[in-house]
Amino acid sequence: MFRAKITGISGYVPEYILNNEELSTIVDTNDEWIVTRTGIKERRILKEGGTSVMCVKAIEELLAKTNTKPEEVDLVVVTTVTPDWPVPATANIICQKLGMTKAWGFDTQAACSGFIFTLEAVSKMVESGKYKKAILVGADKMSSITNYTDRNTCILFGDGAGAIMLEPTTDMEYGVIDCQCYMDGSGIENLNVKRGRSEYPLTKDTIDLNEQYIYQDGKKVFVKAVKGMADVVEEVMKRNHLSSENLNWLVPHQANKRIIDATADRAGLSEDKVMLNIQKFGNTTNATIPLCLWDYEKKLKKGDNLILCAFGAGYTWGAVYVKWGI
Ligand code: UT7
């Protein structure tokens, strides 16, 4: 019997900062509206290259921190909605760029819940004992699918990557303890990329309509996100006898500070137990959760109880209980 233990965490955000003031010169918006409604002050933008550029930077840091040689890695899984190419997988590109000659891997897609869903999958693979050093990287270059003339979406998204190392351990106390994931397809019309897909490949007309970019009916998604995140957090907390006292950290997907606050309230958690970096990075989709862990790494203590949770397009939602073991 093995447990999948998180043995390293790293992150990367591009240097370029797009703040609310600069955005207000591009679309009809303002700092006060964005901060009040979302909690976002600024986001990072990758000017050159694809998502793998950020994955590689994050993984380089992870390898250094965990004292791992590229050829020791046996599994690399990338969760992203903005792969470098539709074909081949971004994991493949990363293996090649970093010289991970003994690894195999693949990409997954579950919108903003990708990191939670894929953590469940990869931890089960690691629990088998077959994979000794598995890397999960959540990364998105959201700027590549964001329409900077649409104020409903362009204020929200940013670029970034976060990675974790997972290793099997016989010490059952630490690691990925429990997970609950859901998807129901009820929100497909409310959050999507309409064109440039198998049913509707890109044409000149759809490009003229900006339909290759992300679309969101924010209000509809908001209502579902508040309920979905709070419900699944409650479910995983109850099942694992966690309370507002013995839960040390909530690590929520960073889509909107108001959704995060509502989830924390339902769990009875004070602000100091909630990881937050939406103000500086915005919604980086698959990177928000590992970037939070990376940001708060110094505050984490061995034995801390963490609940990671997310809600995203589809709809998809889920929560993971981790006992921190570093
Ligand atoms: O990560 C995946 C899951 N996604 C989410 O969880 C996101 C969920 N949704 C949200 O976070 C919020 O719905 C948004 C932040 C996207 C929007 O906030 P909202 O409070 O739902 O605003 P709204 O779209 O209902 O717009 C309210 C008002 C409207 O004006 P009127 O009709 O009341 O006069 C909008 O036209 O604010 C206006 N508005 C803006 N004003 C300035 C909308 N966007 C902007 C803007 N700047 N960027």
Nearest to 193 by CA among 132, 150, 256, 138: 150
Report pLDDT digits (tens) over 94-147.
Answer: 999 999 999 999 999 999 999 999 999 999 999 999 999 999 999 999 999 999
The reply to whether 122 and 263 lie within a common domain is no
CB of 33 sitting under 6 A from ligand 1: yes
Nearest to 279 by CA among 264, 292, 294, 262: 292
Q: Which residues of the chain have pLDDT under 50?
A: none
CB of 29 sitting under 6 A from ligand 1: yes
The reply to whether 267 and 286 lie within a common domain is yes
* DSSP codes, 7-49: EEEEEE--SEEEEHHHHTTTSS--HHHHHHHH---EEEE--SS
The reply to whether 146 and 197 lie within a common domain is no
Q: Within 13 Å of residue 39, how many CA atoms lie on the same side as its CB?
A: 15
Look at the chain and report how many structural domains it folds into: 2
Nearest CA residue ID for atom 43, ligand 1 = 152
The reply to whether 89 and 230 lie within a common domain is no
- Identify the pLDDT of residue 37: 98
| Composition of the chain by helix, strand, coil, percent to 5 | 35, 25, 40
Q: CA–CA separation, 205 vs 227, rounded Å?
A: 38
Q: CA–CA separation, 52 vs 62, rounded Å?
A: 15
Tell me which of 20, 55, 92, 253 is the catalytic residue.
253
Last residue of a domain, one of 173, 197, 229: 173
The reply to whether 98 and 166 lie within a common domain is yes
Which CATH number do you get for residue 249?
3.40.47.10
The reply to whether 108 and 50 lie within a common domain is yes
The reply to whether 311 and 228 lie within a common domain is yes
Last residue of a domain, one of 124, 149, 173: 173
- Identify the pLDDT of residue 204: 87
Pocket-testing residue among 23, 153, 219, ligand 1, by greatest number of atoms within 8 A of Cβ: 219
Tokens encoding 122: 């990869």
Tell me which of 20, 92, 190, 283 is the catalytic residue.
283
Domain that holds residue 293: 176-323
The reply to whether 239 and 317 lie within a common domain is yes
CB of 222 sitting under 6 A from ligand 1: yes
The reply to whether 188 and 240 lie within a common domain is yes
Q: How far away, in angstroms, is 218 Cα from ligand 1 center?
A: 6
Last residue of a domain, one of 173, 190, 209: 173
Residue 253 falls in the annotated catalytic set? yes
Tokens encoding 267: 């769990």
The reply to whether 16 and 135 lie within a common domain is yes
Nearest atom in ligand 1 to 225's CA: 6
Return phi, psi of residue 161, to 5°. Answer: -145, 140
CB of 312 sitting under 6 A from ligand 1: yes
The reply to whether 188 and 304 lie within a common domain is yes
Q: CA–CA separation, 115 vs 285, rounded Å?
A: 9
The reply to whether 42 and 163 lie within a common domain is yes
**Reduced to 3 states, what is the DSSP secondary structure of residue 139?**
strand
Residue 175: CB atoms within 10 A of its CB come to 23
Q: CA–CA separation, 123 vs 166, rounded Å?
A: 7
* DSSP codes, 85-96: -SSS-HHHHHHH
CB of 267 sitting under 6 A from ligand 1: no
